[in-house]
Structure 1
Amino acid sequence: MSHRRPLPRGLRLTVTDEGPGFPPEFLPRAVDRFARAEASRTSEGAGLGLAFVQAVALAHGGTAHAENTEHGGAVTLDLPC
């Protein structure tokens, strides 16, 4: 699920899921390149998805971060106008 909300000088886009969320110890490095929540995961992935989101945000003067909500994990992208 995604939500868009205008900010006083920009836009906030939040994408959430209904899964278990992120492990708390992973959150500080969630947008780092090659970061994966669990090193022992058998699913494919290089740990670059959230790093790409962060790179796009920074390229446009914005920010991105991951967090846990009452419904699951969420990634928020804030972009200025």
Structure 2
Amino acid sequence: GPGIAAEHIPRLTERFYRIDRSRSRETGGTGLGLAIVKHIAQRHGAELRIESTVGKGSRFALVFPANRVREARLLAK
């Protein structure tokens, strides 16, 4: 995407918050996605981090504490 202005970042995880108010639910979603992600992350002891630069794009990351992560086992084919 085009990136998100810094003043919007703190509010992105609020329920029903949309940066572009002109977008309808049909074209821009409900504004619930990141709020849901944040609450699920918190339930697992993780943090949602959002970095963005206008004109370059955005990065969304879930950061889990080490004690909440297990090593994945590879399945033999």
Q: How does 1:40-59 map to 2 (within 5 A)?
A: 40-42=22-24, 43-59=27-43
User: May I ask how many residue pairs the two structures share in their alignment?
Assistant: 63
1:59 is displaced (CA, Å) by: 0.5
Query: Which letter does structure 2 place at the counterpart of 1:49?
Result: G
2:54 pairs with 1:72: no
Question: Gapped runs of 5+ residues in structure 2?
Answer: 69-77
C-alpha distance in structure 2 between counterparts of 1:41 and 1:25, whole Å? 19
The share of aligned pairs that are identical, in percent, is 41
C-alpha distance in structure 2 between counterparts of 1:31 and 1:65, whole Å? 10
Question: Gapped runs of 5+ residues in structure 1?
Answer: 1-18
Higher strand share: 1
Higher helix share: 2
Root-mean-square deviation (CA, aligned residues, Å) is 1.8
